Amino acid sequence: MSAAINLREYRAINFTDKLSLFSEHWSQRVIAEMNDYQFKLAKVKGDFIWHDHADTDEVFIVIDGRLRIDFRDGAVHLKAGEMFVIPKGVEHKPYSEEEASILLVEPRGVVNTGAEESERTRANDVWI
């Protein structure tokens, strides 16, 4: 799907509507682009894997629910309406006890598991 829009069609992107279009956990979906950055919605539940992104920061914004992001030396706890920026190269592992909905902001082409290959690795540029 092309990121280009018809400028004569001014329509807001509704997170709730977009989130209703998929149910798989840990499988981000692109909803918009700005320059080379993508805005990705995801539903998360349970443990992710330890990973980092060597070349970019990563933004987590919690839309609904709660998210814990573990680091080797601590953790940050986020609830709906909160965000956290993970600096590039910092190893982390997201976790959510109950299903949470999040918005990720990161450059186009970033693999969700960084350099780690796992059953959680998902395809890039999946638009909804």
Q: What is the pLDDT of residue 9?
A: 76
pLDDT in tens, 33-87: 999 999 999 999 999 999 999 999 999 999 999 999 999 999 999 999 999 999 9
pLDDT reported for residue 19: 98
Q: Name the more confident of 9 and 29.
A: 29
- Does 2 have pLDDT greater than 60? no
The larger pLDDT score, comparing residue 11 to residue 102, is at 102
pLDDT tens digits for range 11-43: 999 999 999 999 999 999 999 999 999 999 999
d(CA 15, CA 30): 11
Which domains, from first to last, does the chain contain?
27-107 (2.60.120.10)
How far apart, in whole angstroms, are the C-alpha atoms of residue 112 and residue 98? 20
Task: Give the residue, 118 or 109, on which the prediction is more confident.
Answer: 109
**In the block, which residue shows the tokens 């330890």?**
50
